[in-house]
């Protein structure tokens, strides 16, 4: 399971997170792509977490 930390870079909030705020989420690839392209968010870091498949 991969979780990504994003930062809101747009002028308005994204999914309830205010501009400048960082948040962790599992966005779909398409949703992430759209938000990145319009400058709403940027990726801060991606964390691979141990999930059921890794056990």
Partner 1 sequence: MPKRVALKDSITVDGTDLSNFARAVTSSSEHEQVDVSGFSASGVNEYLSGPTTQSVTVTFFGSYATGEVHATLEPIHSGRLTVPIAWRTDQTAVVGVDNPELRGNVQLFSYGPGATRGDVDTFDATFVATDAAGLTWHTT
Residues that bind partner 1 (CB under 8 A): 9-15, 30-31, 34-35, 37-40
Exposure letters 9-32 (e unless 16+ CB within 10 A, then b): eeeeebeeeeeeeebeeebeeeeb
Question: Closest approach of Cβ 48 to partner 1, in Å?
Answer: 23
Judged by beta carbon, residue 23 or residue 55, the one nearer partner 1 is: 23
The span from the CA of 33 to the CA of 26, in Å, is 12
Question: Closest approach of Cβ 46 to partner 1, in Å?
Answer: 18
Judged by beta carbon, residue 23 or residue 54, the one nearer partner 1 is: 23
């Amino acid at each position: 399971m991969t979780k990504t930390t994003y930062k809101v870079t747009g002028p308005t909030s994204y999914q309830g997170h205010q501009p400048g705020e960082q948040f962790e989420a599992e966005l779909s690839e398409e949703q992430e792509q759209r938000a990145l392209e319009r400058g709403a968010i940027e990726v801060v870091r991606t964390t691979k977490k141990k999930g059921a498949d890794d056990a």
